[in-house]
Amino acid sequence: MIIKNARIILQDNQTVIKDIWIEEGLIQAIEDKIEKEDEILDAHGMLVMSGGIDVHVHLREPGYTQKETIHTGTLAAAHGGYTTVMAMPNVVPSPDNVTTMKEYLALIEKEAVVKVVPYGCITKNEKGKELVDFEALKQCGITAFSDDGVGVQEDAVMEEAMKQAAQADVLLAAHTEDMRYRRPNSCIHEGIRSAQLNLVGIPSECEYKQIERDLKLAEKYHACYHICHMSAKESVALLREYKNKGADVSGEVTAHHLLLNEMDVENENHKMNPPLRSAEDQKALIEGLKDGTIEILANDHAPHTIEDKSKGMAQSAFGIVSLETSIPLVYTELVKTGILTLEQFQNIISANPAKRFGFHDRGKIAVGYEADLFALEQKTSVIDKNAFVSKGKNTPFDGRKVEGVIAWTMVHGKIVMERRSNG
**Cα of 101 vs its chain's centroid, Å:** 21
Q: Which of 54, 96, 178, 300 is catalytic?
A: 300
Q: How many angstroms separate the Cα of 327 from the Cα of each of 47, 77, 256, 405, 415?
A: 13, 11, 11, 9, 18
Question: Is 133 in the active site?
Answer: no
Full 3-state SS string of the chain: CEEEEEEEEEECCEEEEEEEEEECCEEEEEECCCCCCCCEEECCCCEEEECEEEEEECCCCCCCCCCCCHHHHHHHHHHCCEEEEEECCCCCCCCCCHHHHHHHHHHHHHHCCCEEEECECCEHHHCCCCECCHHHHHCCCCCEECCCCCCCCCHHHHHHHHHHHHHHCCEEEECCCCHHHCCCCCCEECCHHHHHHCCCEECCHHHHHHHHHHHHHHHHHCCEEEECCCCCHHHHHHHHHHHHCCCCEEEEEEHHHHHCCHHHCCCHHHCCCCCCCCHHHHHHHHHHHHCCCCCEEECCECCCCCCCCCCHHHHCCCCCCCCCCHHHHHHHHHHCCCCCCHHHHHHHHHHHHHHHCCCCCCCCCCCCCECCEEEEECCCEECCHHHCCCCCCCCCCCCCEECCEEEEEEECCEEEEECCCCC
Of 169, 119, 179, 118, whose CA–CA distance to 146 is shortest?
119
Active site residues: 300
